Chains A and B, each alone.
Chain A
Amino acid sequence: MNLLTRLGRYFIFISLLFTRREKVSVYVKQILEEAVAIGIDSIFIVSIVSTFIGAVTCVQTAYNLVSPFIPDYVISLIVRDMTLLELAPTITCIVLAGKVGSNIASGLGTMRISEQIDALEVMGLNSASYLVLPKIIAAVLVFPMLITMAGFLSIWGGYVAGTLTGAITPEDYIYGIRADFIPFNVPFALIKTVVFAFLITSISAFRGYYTEGGALEVGRASTTAVTNSCIAVLVADYLLAQLLL
């Protein structure tokens, strides 16, 4: 199947989610369950990744800024801007593409090959909408919360690493965090996150929903879902940066 055909099928799949929807009460329960599965279950990995990325960014920036003409607070300024613009939204979403995306694709793929999706269809339900829409809504709601947490932890990780290694004093770090702050960077990070959340969940669901074959194909769908989601996130990242900055 060529790229254009696949893209066309993806857009048809997206339109399927919004036609012949089920009762709202059904979605509310599903969304809450998915929010727990996507959000709460991802807190640990997001915390670890973002804290260490912040710490590493701080230490490496300090290592590279050897000029005596550059004040130390620039280190934390760089940590802050990199965190807000790229590390928190993009890197965390790539991590989530691996965790959440593979989970969605393999879950739906298994449902497909074990005829659970067929069972929904013969009941007269819109299986795509019932299974996928709650995942997308939950991700769009929960990802920004995770990314906000990731941002805080990344900057905190930088503070801990920077002050413990003596690369920067606590006063300089706090000063740098507040210096030349551009408020728009925060909504920009959240806008990116919402777009990434949609792309990761919808692409992974698309891959899983149309799985054909057996266990091997479920594994393949899961891998392809993560690869495609990561590419889509990076392309969207570039386009959003061009559009919004």
Chain B
Amino acid sequence: MIEIKDIRKEFNGRVVLDGISGKFEPGNTSLIIGGSGTGKSVLLKCIVGLIKPESGQVLYNGRDFWSGDADTKRDIRREMGVLFQGGALFDSKTVLENVKFPLDMLTDQSEEEKTERAEFCLKRVGLDNAAKRMPSEISGGMKKRVGIARAIVMNPKYLFCDEPNSGLDPLTSVKIDELIQEITDEYQITTIVITHDMNSVLGIGEDIKFLHKGVKLWEGTNENILDTTVPELEEFLYSSQLIRRMKQSKK
């Protein structure tokens, strides 16, 4: 389980996150949603240890990341898998080498074991036939899948996805969402997804936290999000024609 307590972050005096708290349970796909510039990605970076918050705690099964020593941080990081917005694949390596990379760097497994594991993960995301291709030769959706394969290759306890649907068509977006949820269920990992995609919100939002101007304004599930009375969340939700029509048909 991941618990964040009173996370506060500011850049040059401008408050970006203001006292964000919350829990993320294992086996759940938790969504952090909100409009652009509301601090979602900054919050994710504070959680995964890329940006240090001014105050607050990020607890991984009770271990505080930011007050931990170098060994604690390293141990926690090795339990994480992160899917970055653009995939963040290494351009000079093939798809298979990208997926195998964490194993090369962090384990003492034999070459056969590492290749077998990487091929298994690629198969899991449906890309076993793209192993020898370079990142520049595959589509955006495939890059995200490779990113997921790389994120799960070390059997992580925590999976983080930063806007996994950005730049993808609706059909590919749904497939990526389904893949993330399947992996979360299959390995019972704690998954946090940053998104502003309403299909994701309604599709995989078992636990949703809504951020607005660096503050958490609402928390709930995809079952009750359409019943919200928070004006900022309503504005966010009903900016989508599709959701507006859903609401009208519900009435």
Q: Contact partner of A118 among B74, B78, B84, CB < 8 A?
A: B84
Which single residue of chain B is at the shortest CB-CB distance from A121?
Answer: B50
Q: Is B26 an interface residue (CB 8 A)?
A: no
Cα distance, A189 to B102, chains bound together (Å): 42
Q: Is A195 an interface residue (CB 8 A)?
A: no
Cα distance, A174 to B89, chains bound together (Å): 56
The reply to whether B90 and A26 contact each other, CB–CB distance below 8 Å, is no
Q: Contact partner of B88 among A23, A26, A119, A125, CB < 8 A?
A: A119
Q: For residues 109 through 137 of chain A, which have their beta carbon under 8 Å from a beta carbon of chain B?
A: 110, 114-116, 118-119, 121-125, 130
Q: Is B213 an interface residue (CB 8 A)?
A: no
Cα distance, A23 to B84, chains bound together (Å): 26
The reply to whether A124 and B86 contact each other, CB–CB distance below 8 Å, is no
Q: Is A9 an interface residue (CB 8 A)?
A: no
Cα distance, A23 to B106, chains bound together (Å): 9
Cα distance, A121 to B77, chains bound together (Å): 8
The reply to whether B105 and A125 contact each other, CB–CB distance below 8 Å, is yes
> Quick one: given A26-B105, A118-B50, are A123 and B86 in contact (CB under 8 Å)?
no
Cα distance, A133 to B60, chains bound together (Å): 32
Which single residue of chain B is at the shortest CB-CB distance from A25?
Answer: B104
* Minimum distance in angstroms from B86 CB to a CB of chain A: 6
Q: For residues 79 through 96 of chain B, which have their beta carbon under 8 Å from a beta carbon of chain A?
A: 80, 82, 84-86, 88-91
User: A116: which B residues are within 8 A, CB to CB?
Assistant: 88-91
Which single residue of chain A is at the shortest CB-CB distance from B79?
Answer: A124
User: B75: which A residues are within 8 A, CB to CB?
Assistant: 124
Q: For residues 188 through 211 of chain B, which have their beta carbon under 8 Å from a beta carbon of chain A?
A: none
Q: Contact partner of A123 among B45, B70, B77, B85, CB < 8 A?
A: B77
Interface residues on B, range: 20 to 34
Q: Is B142 an interface residue (CB 8 A)?
A: no
Q: Is A6 an interface residue (CB 8 A)?
A: no
Q: Contact partner of A115 among B77, B85, B106, CB < 8 A?
A: B85
> Quick one: given A22-B105, A116-B90, A118-B50, are A124 and B78 in contact (CB under 8 Å)?
yes
The reply to whether A115 and B88 contact each other, CB–CB distance below 8 Å, is yes
The reply to whether B88 and A123 contact each other, CB–CB distance below 8 Å, is no
Query: Please, how many residues of chain A have a CB less than 8 angstroms from a CB on the other chain?
Result: 16
User: A121: which B residues are within 8 A, CB to CB?
Assistant: 49-50, 77
* Minimum distance in angstroms from A118 CB to a CB of chain B: 6
User: B90: which A residues are within 8 A, CB to CB?
Assistant: 116, 119
User: B49: which A residues are within 8 A, CB to CB?
Assistant: 121-122
Which single residue of chain B is at the shortest CB-CB distance from A20?
Answer: B70
The reply to whether B105 and A118 contact each other, CB–CB distance below 8 Å, is no
Cα distance, A62 to B69, chains bound together (Å): 67
Which single residue of chain B is at the shortest CB-CB distance from A33?
Answer: B92
Against A, the Cβ 8 Å flags (1 = close, 0 = not) of B25-39 are 000000000000000
Cα distance, A110 to B50, chains bound together (Å): 18
* Minimum distance in angstroms from B69 CB to a CB of chain A: 12
Cα distance, A23 to B105, chains bound together (Å): 8
User: B124: which A residues are within 8 A, CB to CB?
Assistant: none
Q: Is B63 an interface residue (CB 8 A)?
A: no
User: A123: which B residues are within 8 A, CB to CB?
Assistant: 77-78, 102, 105-106
The reply to whether B84 and A119 contact each other, CB–CB distance below 8 Å, is yes
The reply to whether A119 and B78 contact each other, CB–CB distance below 8 Å, is no
The reply to whether A122 and B82 contact each other, CB–CB distance below 8 Å, is yes
Cα distance, A114 to B86, chains bound together (Å): 7
* Minimum distance in angstroms from A111 CB to a CB of chain B: 8
Supplied contacts A114-B88, A124-B77, 18 more A-B pairs, CB within 8 Å: A20-B70, A26-B104, A110-B91, A115-B85, A115-B86, A116-B88, A116-B90, A119-B82, A119-B84, A121-B77, A122-B77, A122-B80, A122-B82, A123-B102, A123-B106, A124-B74, A124-B75, A124-B106
| Residues of chain B whose beta carbon lies under 8 Å from any beta carbon of chain A | 45, 48-50, 70, 73-75, 77-78, 80, 82, 84-86, 88-91, 102, 104-106
28 A-B pairs with C-beta separation under 8 A = A22-B105, A23-B105, A26-B104, A26-B105, A114-B86, A115-B85, A115-B88, A116-B88, A116-B89, A116-B90, A116-B91, A118-B45, A118-B84, A119-B82, A119-B84, A119-B90, A121-B49, A121-B50, A122-B49, A122-B77, A122-B82, A123-B78, A123-B102, A123-B105, A123-B106, A124-B73, A124-B78, A125-B105
